[in-house]
């Protein structure tokens, strides 16, 4: 997740289980990946509404989100194969 401050990405790994018709959610790992200044400037600039800039940024952010997810998985001592789903807001 990355919020409106666009300071970085917060990634978490949770274990979700259904028990007695209720979900039990346990936080396994959290990782904060800060954006470097150049990327932060690109994000701020994307609010100008230029479609080409937004499209390019979409791909760049996808790579950064993937790296954050992979780092969080590694920090948790897991492998990508052990993850059932990855989601991103928005």
Number of folded domains that form the chain: 1
Question: Furthest-apart CA pair in the chain: how many Å?
Answer: 50
- How far apart are alpha carbons 24 and 41 in whole angstroms? 39
Residue 56 resides in a domain: yes
Each residue's pLDDT tens digit, 6-29: 889 999 999 999 888 889 999 999
HSE-CB at 38 with a 13 A cutoff on CA atoms is 2
What is residue 87's DSSP assignment? -
> Domain residues for 52?
8-82
Each residue's pLDDT tens digit, 26-82: 999 999 999 999 999 888 888 776 788 888 898 999 999 999 999 999 999 999 999
Residue 47 resides in a domain: yes
- Whole-model pTM: value is 0.84
Residue 55 resides in a domain: yes
Residue 3 resides in a domain: no
- How far apart are alpha carbons 36 and 82 in whole angstroms? 30
């Amino acid at each position: 997740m990355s919020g409106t401050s666009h300071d970085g990405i917060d990634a978490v790994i949770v274990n979700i289980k259904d028990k007695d018709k209720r979900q039990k959610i346990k936080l396994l790992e959290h990782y904060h990946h800060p954006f470097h200044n150049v990327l932060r400037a690109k994000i701020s600039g994307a609010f100008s509404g230029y479609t080409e800039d937004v499209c390019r940024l979409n791909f760049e952010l996808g790579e950064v989100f993937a790296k954050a997810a992979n780092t969080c998985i590694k920090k948790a001592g897991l492998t990508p194969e052990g993850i059932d789903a990855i989601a991103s807001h928005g």
